[in-house]
Structure 1
Amino acid sequence: MKIIDPREPAAVYSIVLWLVTDLGVAVSGALLIVSLGGFGNIWSPPALDFVKRFSIATNICSMTAFALSVVCFARWIHNASIRAHLFSGGMTMSPGWAVGSYFIPIINLFKPFQAMREIWQASIAPNTTGIVPVPVGMRIWWGLWLVRLGLSNANYQAIASVRNLLDIGMSGALNILTFVIDVPMALLLIVLIRRLGANQRARVEAQIFG
């Protein structure tokens, strides 16, 4: 019977939960565009009030779920980094830095990817990490994450400087576009978590029974 680190399913389920709430934000963005005249007619004040309240509720749920997924993912990658350090002496990023690098501006554009890459390589070939290829899915995941960071910043700027209905509609469009990016990004991350977990379990079993 394989023993799975409970941090792994917690990270996966929290990401799925966040993705579901993120769908709600995208729906609220679509309603916002339509209610403000996306089909030619602006909705009645009561309908606009409903859309506003729905948008606030979905955003609160999404932010809460995102915060939960951040905590669960941080716990998972910290533990995955600890195991990778036990496998290989060639690691350059500590478990703490593998988590903390996500929260430091500029550094969070490249260091988290380096941490994930090192964990992956050490979990496959601890003594020859340099020759282990980086999965295409990991590169795509990171590229999508960088795009999402840019969209989130653009959306924040749009909300912070709302001047007219067009700005509000733009925020709704950004919510939809962000969700389009979030779906493949989240699914790729789940695949990486599952595969990396399987690689590390195989490495542990090889050390015990090999």
Structure 2
Amino acid sequence: MPSRGSQVPLDRWFSSERAMGIAASILIGLVTVTTWSTAWSDWNLYRTRKLYGNDPDKLAEADLISGSLGIVAALALLAAAVVFIVWLWRVRWNAEMFCRGEHRFTRGWVLGCWLVPVVNLWYPKQVVDDIVAASDQRTDPLTPALKDIPGTQLVWAWWLTWVAGLVTGNIVQRGVLVGASQLGDLRTNVILSSVSALFTTGAAVLAVILIQRIDEMQSQRAWVPWWAVGAPHSGFQPPAR
């Protein structure tokens, strides 16, 4: 559903989201650490079964470590997702004030795009594309539609690495190989965990760069709403930052 980007959002003003971006970046870094921890736990489970296949105590210990780290990783991912989406929601507000251009999706999709199956493989990228386009000072504040502005290589790289990590980590490893007990399956699980960790690390680094880039664009662009552009005698006075 397209948004009604031409409406004047008078219910709030510009705000710096640097603090929220830093918090999101820290939590994204934590997700990277926990991803590698779960990859190690998968390797440990494989090694334990290979060396102590008939020792139930060793296997139970390895399973406990794997399960515990999995819970920690899930909690870290949830925390990072919540803070990142809140940050994304807020910079979207700023973007709507910088530029009149219509976003491809309504504001509710800033959250919904991550939750709806299938479309969550490309909707979030388009949401971010429009935010970047609207925040860029090279974009005309009165441009009619943001979808016509080409996406950046940074957003493409971030999204492709994220999807690759999602597919290898969740769909394949946690779906096809869940409950694997044979050495061959566990070895495959270790490989997929490592590949997922690599992609997730790449996506995390790019996400932190993307957060910083959007913050810089919104901080450097003059905080003048699109409806006040070109109207110096309209009586409009921007509040102090």
Same fold by TM-score greater than 0.5: yes
1:197 is aligned to 2:215 = yes
What 5-or-longer segments of structure 1 have no aligned partner? none
* TM-score calculated relative to the size of structure 1: 0.86
C-alpha distance in structure 2 between counterparts of 1:130 and 1:156, whole Å: 35
Deviates more, 1:174-183 or 1:132-141: 132-141
How much does 1:204 deviate? 4.1
In structure 2, the partner of 1:70 is 81
In structure 2, the partner of 1:150 is 167
The one-letter code of the counterpart of 2:115 is F
Alignment equivalent of 1:91, drawn from 102, 105, 108: 102
1:16 is aligned to 2:29 = yes
In structure 1, the partner of 2:48 is 35
Name which one, 1 or 2, has greater alpha-carbon Rg. Answer: 2
Q: CA RMSD in A?
A: 2.4
How much does 1:121 deviate? 0.5
Deviates more, 1:186-195 or 1:147-156: 147-156
1:103 is aligned to 2:115 = yes
* TM-score calculated relative to the size of structure 2: 0.76
Which structure's residues are more often helix, by fraction? 1
Count of residue pairs the alignment pairs up: 205
Percentage identity across aligned positions? 23
C-alpha distance in structure 1 between counterparts of 2:147 and 2:76, whole Å: 36
C-alpha distance in structure 1 between counterparts of 2:39 and 2:142, whole Å: 45
In structure 1, the partner of 2:228 is none
How much does 1:175 deviate? 1.7
Q: Is the Cα contact below 8 Å between 1:19 and 1:182 reproduced in 2?
A: yes
C-alpha distance in structure 1 between counterparts of 2:173 and 2:147, whole Å: 39
